Amino acid sequence: MAAAPFHPPRRKRRVFESYESPFPVEVGGKDFRMCQAEILHNNVIVRNPEDIKQLYNKGYFGKGILSRSRPVYSISDPSLVTKWQGANINMPIITAKKYQYHVQWAKSVLREQGLDGCSVTKILDNYTKPLELPLLEADGAKQTGASCNRMSPSTENTELSRQSPADTGNVADPSPEDENKGCKKVCLEGDPAFDPVCSSKEQEQSDLKEKAEVSCQEPGFLARCGCKAEESAGQRSCEMMKSKECAPEYVLVQEEEECSVCPEDETVHGQESLVKKEKLVCRRNPFRIFEYLQLSLEEAFFLVYALGCLSIYYGEEPLTILKLWEFFSEVKPDFKTTYMAYHYFRSKGWVPKVGLKYGTDLLLYRKGPPFYHASYSVIAELVDDNFEGSLRRPLSWKTLSGLNRTTANASKELMLCYLIKPSDMTEKDMSTPECMKRIKVQELIVTRWVSSRERCEKDEL
């Protein structure tokens, strides 16, 4: 069997970031940070923004659940941000249509909690009513709002107006005194630390004249009802503007309204032209979506076992290495095989990622996906000394040829990674990750045989 020639990785044409570190740990333990993750529906997710930044920037572990790779999801509409960039706005801007989607999702959540349609409508109408624009901080100076007017009979009028009680349908912001009356008011506020859906039927006696209890549902939803008493809308908005949450509580909604404009020509009397007037209205976001970092089981165990920089919790209890080894093996029957291959290639300096897109177990990147294209598509198999055993995915010649052609069309090479275990190794020996010390690895590159190419090479010899 001939040695396969090494093909250098193909660097991407456009690279928009710099390389920081291969692992989220420093040499000598300097500036060591212990990150936290949790198991949710048999998946490992990281919620803390600082931990997300640490794990992805240094080693490119995991991917954002709402992004292609790096967690960069934003609720703001890029076109609207560009359109209103001269207004010194540092709040997310969305369209009215997108905001209605969030309202409908919040309605579905509340209905699942047993609330009737009338109560749901009243709760959301009160929660999503227009608010006064919060104080914005820009360039060290506080601003109370910005306006950009472009008025003409033939063009649209675009303005950013500060909503007053008269402009918002005579609905005034609740004062601290009103919020302190009786029981707490219903909110649909999200918390990036926990995502249980909580419902609340408590309303002021003067508004809904009904009482209910606040009930919390199981985790898994992306909205949360919470209550904050003795806190005005302006104070909450200022705190939100200073925070770094991924899902803001307050958003600016671009809405349209028709208004009549008198023509500048004085010869025409009694004629008015209707123009569309666009304005940004500050409202609460009733359904807040958070983006988390999702780690594959192999990535999560490598961070715990090999680097020791991650703690994985199931409920309120951190899981030990042995419990994680057993749990991941139950969730994914071939976890031991894929992790051994992952650990081997990570230790050699590659950045392995899930290879589901190309029908393989792993994709191997140099440095990381932002810098190079994947060089190899890897299929891992656990065999004995005689290369025998129950293969995870037996490949026929037809299947192997198709898989190799698919890999070659993507400018990658197909690699078969054989994990060779001793013949005397039992299942009990493999019940701990210490069994990897006795495992040997053999790599096999699969290439397509081309008769004309082979004939030319032989003629040259």
Residue 158 makes CB contacts below 8 A (sequence gap 6+) with 83, 148, 149, 150, 277, 278, 279
Amino acid (one-letter) located at 102: H
CB 102 within 8 A of CB 127: no
Backbone angles phi, psi at 63, to 5 degrees: -150, 155
Q: Hey, which bits of 178-292 come out as E strands?
A: 198-199, 215-216, 250-261, 273-284
3-state SS assignment for residue 121: helix
Nearest to 52, CA basis, from 243, 290, 221, 251: 290
Helix (H, G, I), strand (E, B) or coil at 454: helix
> Token digits for 13?
């044409």
User: Taking a C-beta distance cutoff of 8 angstroms, is the pair 160, 84 a contact?
Assistant: yes
User: What do you get for the CA distance between the two ends of the chain, in Å?
Assistant: 18
Q: How many CA atoms lie within 13 A of 88 on its CB side?
A: 15
Strands 93-95 and 250-261: parallel
Question: Whole-angstrom Cα distance, residue 443 to residue 415?
Answer: 7
Is-contact 419 439, C-beta < 8 A?
A: yes
For residue 367, indicate whether it is catalytic.
Answer: no
Q: Which residue out of 73, 122, 373, 418 is catalytically annotated?
A: 373
**Around Cβ 183, how many Cβ atoms within 10 Å?**
17
Among 127, 365, 372, 376, the one annotated catalytic:
365
- Closest CA relative to residue 446, chosen from 381, 388, 376, 383: 376
Residue 253 CA neighbour count, 13 Å, CB half? 25
Contact 40, 270 (CB under 8 A): no
Rounded CA-CA distance 44/310 in Å is: 11
CA atoms within 13 A on the CB side of 318: 10
Taking Cα atoms as reference points, which of 444, 65, 21 lies closest to residue 246?
65
CA pair distance 31, 135, nearest whole angstrom? 36
Nearest 5°: the CA angle 153, 156, 157 is: 95
Is residue 365 flagged as an active site residue? Answer: yes
Q: Which of 58, 279, 412, 421 is catalytic?
A: 412
Examine the residue annotation and report whether 73 is marked as an active-site residue of this protein.
no
Q: Which residues are catalytic?
A: 365, 373, 412
